[in-house]
Amino acid sequence: MSEKPQDIGLDSKSPAERDRIDLNHEISDEPTGRIQRFLSENSHDIYGGESEKKKAERRYRSMLQMLLAEDAQYAALYSQVTKNLDQAYQAVDRALVNINQRLEDSDRKLQFLRDNTAEMEDGTKIFLSNEGSIFTEDGKRLSDEEAQKYSHLDNLQSWDENLVEKLKRDTLLRARQGFEEYKGNTLDNIDRRIKDEDNPVLKDELEDLNEQIKSAMPDFATANFHNTELVANTA
């Protein structure tokens, strides 16, 4: 049994799939009768005859270039997506610089507390809480009897300050991971997709990708993104 041609039953396919089939037919100089669905009205007159199609085929090296040159609406949407993508990259990079600086500050503070606090006989670092309890650096609370051995020491650093700084550092590490995942899983994938010359992203998918850039963005980068957008629009 011969294979069913891909354009049979075209109406049952999704709009994006129909557009992709049509576009492949058009760039291959095959008649489809549907090219008007994704080219703007101003572009229709260039396809009046066989010779014009041949000229268009020779003029553009890829389907993406053809769409950008012949469909003004597509070109405008594509430009907006690339602009938002660039601004998102800038926002994430600034957020990562900020987080890394704060992590360095946090590491220095934790190291200072650790270097300057008292120790037990076995070298375990100990800290004094605001309520008067003594904790080891891994969070174990000493018994009252054991704590009496060290309560007189004047170099016991604050357990509460140490704990707050550790929690802050953990939060910053999770935030950094979130930004790195957003950059790698969302922005880099979108960047690769829209640069595909021979399998170009169509309008519906462009709109979806444009929405993903903003909806998947971590909260901390949103303000940076809007600041970049404001500067770009002002310029």
Whether 150 shows a pLDDT value over 50: the answer reads yes
46-55, 138-147, 188-197: least confidently modelled range: 46-55
Tell me what the mean pLDDT of segment 152-170 comes to. 95
Phi, psi of 191 (to 5 degrees): -60, -45
Count, residues in the chain: 235
Burial of 228 (0-12, 13-18, 19+ CB in 10 A): buried
Q: What is the pLDDT of residue 67?
A: 87
Please give the average per-residue pLDDT across 139-152, as a whole number.
94
CB atoms within 10 A of CB 132: 9
Percent of the chain with pLDDT over 70: 67
Element holding 128 (H helix, E strand):
strand 126-128
pLDDT the model gives residue 66: 86
Pairwise CA distance, residues 28 & 13, whole Å: 20
Measured between alpha carbons, how far is 63 from 67 in angstroms, rounded to an integer?
6
pLDDT band at 230 (very low <50, low <70, confident <90, very high): very low
pLDDT given for residue 171 in this prediction:
92
Q: What's the confidence (pLDDT) of residue 33?
A: 44
Confidence label for 147 from pLDDT (cuts 50, 70 and 90)? very high
Looking at per-residue pLDDT, the higher value among 3 and 198 belongs to 198
pLDDT tens, position by position, 95-142: 999 999 999 999 999 999 999 999 999 999 999 999 999 999 999 999
Our measurement of the distance from residue 99's CA atom to the centroid of its chain's CA atoms, rounded to an integer in Å, reads: 16
pTM: 0.68
Residues 6+ apart with CB under 8 A from 54: 29
SS3 assignment, position 83: helix
**pLDDT tens per residue, range 15-74:** 666 666 666 665 555 555 444 445 544 554 444 444 555 565 556 678 888 888 888 999
The mean pLDDT of the chain is: 80
